[in-house]
């Protein structure tokens, strides 16, 4: 999977997250990169909605990591989907500190999303998605605005490893914006 998309609004970023959730499975690692306010948490909210996990999905900056169990497990269904482990490496100084969180212990039953993970989280999985969010010309002041606000961004989704070789992002549909 190698895609480059322009995402115009926060609602579109959440819709992209739901599209990504359609191809994610337990064991997958997603590394998010981009400046402050780029929309990393907004994208993760969409992933959480698509995975149908307990929320709300909010920035884990101060708690470092949150686990969102699947709603199906709470409903007593026999085959719930994966949990969402949402981590934020912003305040971590090294891959060793990230390793201390034992995020890889959850990968068998979870999708793990690491914000600010570039250069730190690649060791969590040989096969992973690397997503870079870059504010566009009119969104150049995204660091000053609200996370995932309504200014255009370029989102680059790159699959690393054999797992992602033939995976395609599902098409966007009009209902994604609702």
Under 8 Å CB-to-CB from 94, ≥6 apart: which residues?
120
Give the model's confidence band at 32: pLDDT under 50 very low, under 70 low, under 90 confident, else very high.
very high
Mean model confidence pLDDT for the chain: 84
Strand order in the sheet with 110-115: 2-7, 153-160, 128-135, 29-33, 110-115, 83-88, 65-68
Average pLDDT of span 124-140? 84
127 vs 91: CA distance, rounded Å: 25
Tally of CB atoms within 10 A around 150: 13
pTM: 0.85
Give residue 53's pLDDT band: very low, low, confident or very high (50, 70, 90).
Answer: very high
Residue 133 has pLDDT above 70, yes or no: yes
**Beta-carbon-side half-sphere exposure of residue 83 (alpha carbons within 13 Å):** 17
User: pLDDT value at position 146?
Assistant: 47
Is 21's pLDDT higher than 90? yes
* Band (58; pLDDT cuts 50, 70, 90): very high
What are 143-165's pLDDT values in tens digits?
444 455 678 999 999 999 999 99
Report, as an integer, the average pLDDT of 19-28: 95
Q: Does 3 have pLDDT greater than 90?
A: yes
Give percent above pLDDT 90 in the chain: 56
- 């914000």: which residue's tokens? 115
Domains and CATH numbers, the chain: 2-161 (3.40.50.300)
At 92, the pLDDT band (50, 70, 90 cuts) reads: confident
């Amino acid at each position: 999977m190698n895609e480059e998309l322009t995402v115009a609004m926060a609602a579109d970023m959440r819709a992209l997250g739901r599209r990504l959730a359609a191809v994610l499975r337990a064991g997958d690692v997603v590394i998010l990169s981009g400046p402050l306010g780029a929309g990393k948490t907004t994208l993760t909210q969409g992933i959480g909605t698509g995975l149908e996990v307990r929320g709300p999905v909010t920035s884990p900056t101060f708690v470092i990591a949150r686990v969102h169990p699947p709603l199906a497990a709470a409903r007593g269904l026999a085959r719930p989907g994966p949990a969402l482990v949402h981590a934020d490496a912003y305040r971590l100084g090294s891959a060793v500190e990230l390793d201390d969180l034992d995020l890889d212990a959850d990968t068998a039953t979870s999708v793990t999303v690491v914000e600010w993970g570039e250069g730190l989280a690649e060791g969590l999985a040989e096969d992973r998605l690397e997503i870079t969010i870059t504010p566009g010309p009119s969104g150049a002041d995204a660091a000053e605005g609200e996370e995932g606000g309504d200014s255009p961004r370029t989102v680059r989704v790159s699959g690393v490893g054999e797992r992602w070789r033939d995976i395609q992002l599902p098409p966007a549909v009009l209902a994604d914006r609702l």
